[in-house]
Amino acid sequence: MFSPDYNSITAYTPDPMHSTPTALLKSSRKSSGSRSRRWFGQGWRASSKIALGCAVTVLIANICLTIGIVTTGMKMMNGVYMVYEGSCKKTQMKDSWIHLCLNIVATILLASSNYCMQLLTSPSRSEVDKAHAQRKWLDIGIPSIRNLGSLRKKKVALWWMLAISSIPLHLVYNSIFYSALATNNYSILYASQSFVDLAAYNETKFPNTRDLNITDVQSRAKSFERLNNADCIHAYARDFVEDRRNVIVVVKDPPANQGSLFNITQNDFPEVITPKYNAFSWICDDPNVANETNTCCENKYGFVPCNKITPKLLDRANQWSTGGFEVDHCLSETVESRCHLHFSLDLMIVVLAFNILKVIGISYVAFRLGESPLVNIGDAIQSFLRHPDGTTEGMCLSSHESVVASAKLGGGYSTTTMPTRYSPKQRRYLHAATWNQWLFVTALFVLVFVGTSVCLALSIGHLVGDKTIANAWSIGFGNVKPENLVMGLSIGYGDRSIAVSTLIANTPQAIFSFLYVCYNALFTVMFLSRELSHFSVTAGRGRKYLRVTDPRGEQKSTYFLSLPYKYGVPLLSASGLVHWLVSQSIFLANISIIPPDGSQPMQDEITTVAYSPIAMLFILFVVFALLVFLIATAWRKLPFGMPLLGSNSIAISAACHPPVGPDQSEREDMVMRPLNWGAVPDPRKAVGDLGIRGLHLDRGAADDSFRRGGGGGGGGGLGDDDDDDQNIVGHCCFSDQPLVPPQIGKLYA
């Protein structure tokens, strides 16, 4: 057997405490083994139990929250409860904090589910061996749907259960709580000062109605706030008036013999917002006001929107006329704003149902999964070094590319174990993923970019008012205004509008979540290949400890985000930014309309979807930046020398046939030490089961064997070098022993 010269090793110095890691592990288990630790487990078992604890905690919190609201909240209609009523500013603040908490809770639940989904798609060693025996390869280290065909049926069923249960959470969780913007319908009374002094008016012409008790308004008129013309315009030239109600316009020159009240008009928020809707139009109802203020221009519906006139109208407020009367001042009825915070019981029931499904699925993973899965590359290397896979013996230069190419030719990867000539190529990060993966992610980016661009164009085109970026910018992020309400799409009253609006508002969240999963998977496979390449002796980084899910001794633990933190954290932050922008670009809009008499708002409120074009524009910027970052990363060069194994179980297994003896303890000890990948210095002492390695081949035999068995290390014919060493079949592998760089042009098996 090959006996390493430890005096020549610089990357690893044996330590007395680590010279017998197997014995050390046994003693450490014995000394630290408590009952709770044995139940809780280590590595992925401990992590899955933590995930279960998170899911159960979220379920209990959701149940307690629901019980608390149902027993104390004010029930409205269609399973909606009012949990708060107060000023719009406080309501918006509470809504923001609640949605922050909702996003944190949803992230915890979905992260727990996603972790267990990855455990379910991660094959066990027996499943890998079965697939290899059938000439199939599996993915290791990345989320993989293609693995489902080779896994146990129960694992597949549970994976689908967790996957499907995530979709409703994406669609409805963010809409369990939603704020209802309050706006007052109000009456405009054109009257003289004598009306305020309780003078008589024509009660036949202006009778009291359910919505407006004129006698009551007159009796309270002196308590109304007096506003000059400019302040009156400021107070009522708003899309939603939540802190004021009825207004008495006191005219300068009242007509004679008409009593003290001359006219009454209504300013009502409509059930259906049409392009011809002109908010607070009573302020600008003078037909000459547009010409007098030099306001340009009429829109395509034949009128100048009042919000275009009011800025210039304020400059000449002392000459303000409305309703056919010149205004002296206004008397405004002030009220407390009454915005609401609502809770949807129906949506929470949906969340609870799928939360329970997640608890069931995660419980199985935590307690009944059975054989440990190979979650990442380190787990796979550790397993194959401990128990080498005989089906990949003699394929040491196999790469993901060569395995896939062989599978396409023969319906499965080739079991031919002829030597392969080492002919390395300079690879970039992009080569770590297959072209199908790149095409799929690129298609997703194109779909998202084009879809967002179309939505941006449509949203600007459907704005009520000017179709300009400036007008879109004035709407801002996540603000509800008449200009940006979706028209003709279930706008009105009823529970159907809530359900439809919720689905429309949250569907983009699910789409962008899927994009992030695919985007992150692409980065994972690229950095997985980078980490593997760093093991190569040609990388010049010395030997490295394996990164595994259940680290022992000096082994490293896996990254929490599956990526180095300097990449994982920014990508996660970018995902959070995109999701926030999506939530601000299309969102649930609920408008509570309060009648002029100030009675309780309508039991059914207007529910629809609002949009923010400027938020969509920012989404395009961020998505484009993510695409540029992906391309820039993909174009970086990988360390030279090692075949690209990728996540391919065949290629990984083929690289794990070290020249060690049959003693299992030697293999157990080896995985605890720092490893490297390279060529065995003396292949004559590394003869494998096939009897190929270390043999001398004449030129004809080498040519013939290469033509039949060329693979992942590269291609090319024999060189002109007649040196005997070139015709000795070498061997490359992972090992804790000293290895040398493979020789270009040399055969390896």
Q: Write out pLDDT tens, residues 523-577.
A: 988 988 888 888 998 888 888 899 888 888 888 877 765 677 788 888 888 888 8
Instruction: Tell me the pLDDT tens digit for each residue of 233-251.
Output: 989 988 788 889 999 999 9
- Which has the higher per-residue pLDDT, 200 or 591? 200
Distances (CA, A) of 718 to 276, 289, 398, 422, 732: 81, 92, 19, 11, 19
Q: Residue 513: which pLDDT band, with cuts at 50, 70 and 90? A: confident
Q: Residue 327: which pLDDT band, with cuts at 50, 70 and 90? A: very high
How confident is the model at residue 371, as a pLDDT?
Answer: 84
Instruction: Tell me the pLDDT tens digit for each residue of 428-442.
Output: 988 888 888 899 999
The stretch 318-344 carries a mean pLDDT of: 89
Asked if 136 contacts 150 with a C-beta cutoff of 8 angstroms, the reply is yes
Asked if 340 contacts 179 with a C-beta cutoff of 8 angstroms, the reply is yes
Q: Residue 8: which pLDDT band, with cuts at 50, 70 and 90? A: very low
What CA–CA distance (Å, rounded) separates 264 from 272? 23
What CA–CA distance (Å, rounded) separates 382 from 140? 13
Angle at 257 between CA 256 and CA 262, to 5 degrees: 80
How confident is the model at residue 494, as a pLDDT?
Answer: 52
Question: Residue 635 class from Cβ within 10 Å (0-12 exposed, 13-18 middle, 19+ buried)?
Answer: exposed
SS3 of 362-381: HHHHHHHCCCCECCCHHHHH
What CA–CA distance (Å, rounded) separates 228 from 222? 15
How confident is the model at residue 646, as a pLDDT?
Answer: 86
Residue 213 phi/psi, 5-degree rounding, is -95, 95
Give the chain's length: 749
Instruction: Tell me the pLDDT tens digit for each residue of 85-116.
Output: 888 778 878 887 887 788 788 888 888 888 89
The helix (H) or strand (E) run that includes residue 581 is helix 565-585
The stretch 252-280 carries a mean pLDDT of: 80
Q: Residue 728: which pLDDT band, with cuts at 50, 70 and 90? A: confident
Asked if 571 contacts 462 with a C-beta cutoff of 8 angstroms, the reply is no
What CA–CA distance (Å, rounded) separates 70 from 76? 11
Terminal-to-terminal C-alpha distance of the chain: 18
What CA–CA distance (Å, rounded) separates 732 from 5? 18
Instruction: Tell me the pLDDT tens digit for each residue of 624-679.
Output: 999 999 999 999 998 888 898 888 999 999 999 887 665 777 778 888 899 999 99
Instruction: Tell me the pLDDT tens digit for each residue of 497-509.
Output: 677 777 888 888 8
**What 3-state class would DSSP assign to 117?**
helix
Residues 6+ apart with CB under 8 A from 90: 84
Instruction: Tell me the pLDDT tens digit for each residue of 454-477.
Output: 988 887 776 655 666 776 777 777
How confident is the model at residue 228, as a pLDDT?
Answer: 94
Instruction: Tell me the pLDDT tens digit for each residue of 22-70.
Output: 433 444 444 444 555 555 566 788 888 989 999 999 999 999 999 999 8
Question: Residue 565 class from Cβ within 10 Å (0-12 exposed, 13-18 middle, 19+ buried)?
Answer: exposed
- Which has the higher per-residue pLDDT, 717 or 406? 406
Q: Residue 275: which pLDDT band, with cuts at 50, 70 and 90? A: low
The stretch 704-712 carries a mean pLDDT of: 40
Of 186, 22, 174, 205, give the one whose Cα is nearest residue 100: 174
How confident is the model at residue 500, as a pLDDT?
Answer: 76
How confident is the model at residue 699, as a pLDDT?
Answer: 45
Residues 106, 107, 112, 114: what is their CA dihedral angle, to the nearest 10 degrees?
110
Q: Residue 17: which pLDDT band, with cuts at 50, 70 and 90? A: very low
Of 61, 63, 38, give the one whose Cα is nearest residue 49: 38
How confident is the model at residue 495, as a pLDDT?
Answer: 54
Asked if 394 contacts 690 with a C-beta cutoff of 8 angstroms, the reply is yes
**Extended strands (E) in 192-236:** 225-227
The stretch 323-351 carries a mean pLDDT of: 89
How confident is the model at residue 127, as a pLDDT?
Answer: 92
What CA–CA distance (Å, rounded) separates 248 from 186? 11
Sign of CA pseudo-dihedral 395, 396, 397, 399:
positive
Asked if 458 contacts 611 with a C-beta cutoff of 8 angstroms, the reply is no
Q: Is the pLDDT of residue 712 over 60?
A: no
The helix (H) or strand (E) run that includes residue 329 is strand 325-334
Arithmetic mean of pLDDT over the chain: 79
DSSP 530-570: HHHHTTBGGGT---B--EESS--TTPEEPPTTSS-HHHHHH
Backbone torsion region of residue 542, taken as left when φ is above 0, otherwise alpha when ψ lies between -120 and 50, otherwise beta: left
Residues 6+ apart with CB under 8 A from 113: 51, 55, 162, 165, 166, 358, 361, 362
Residue type, 451: G
Q: Is the pLDDT of residue 292 over 70?
A: no
How confident is the model at residue 129, as a pLDDT?
Answer: 92
Backbone torsion region of residue 375, taken as left when φ is above 0, otherwise alpha when ψ lies between -120 and 50, otherwise beta: alpha
Residues 6+ apart with CB under 8 A from 91: 84, 85, 179, 339, 340, 341
How confident is the model at residue 491, as a pLDDT?
Answer: 46
How confident is the model at residue 138, as a pLDDT?
Answer: 92
How confident is the model at residue 716, as a pLDDT?
Answer: 39
What CA–CA distance (Å, rounded) separates 204 from 598? 24
The stretch 315-321 carries a mean pLDDT of: 86
Q: What tokens appear for 694 in the block?
A: 């270390």
Q: Is the pLDDT of residue 19 over 60?
A: no
Q: Above pLDDT 90, what percent of the chain?
A: 25
Instruction: Tell me the pLDDT tens digit for each residue of 358-397.
Output: 999 999 998 888 888 998 899 999 999 999 888 888 888 8
Which of 667-676, 694-703, 726-735 holds the top average pLDDT?
A: 667-676
How confident is the model at residue 661, as a pLDDT?
Answer: 60
How confident is the model at residue 711, as a pLDDT?
Answer: 40
**What 3-state class would DSSP assign to 475?**
helix
Alpha helices in 33-124 (DSSP H): 35-40, 44-72, 88-121
Q: Residue 293: which pLDDT band, with cuts at 50, 70 and 90? A: low
Residue 139, beta-bridge partner list: 648
Instruction: Tell me the pLDDT tens digit for each residue of 107-146.
Output: 888 888 888 998 999 999 999 999 998 888 999 988 888 8
Q: Is the pLDDT of residue 156 over 90?
A: yes
Residues 6+ apart with CB under 8 A from 528: 141, 142, 376, 377, 432, 646, 647
Tokens 């708002």 — which residue? 601
Residues 6+ apart with CB under 8 A from 367: none
The helix (H) or strand (E) run that includes residue 414 is none
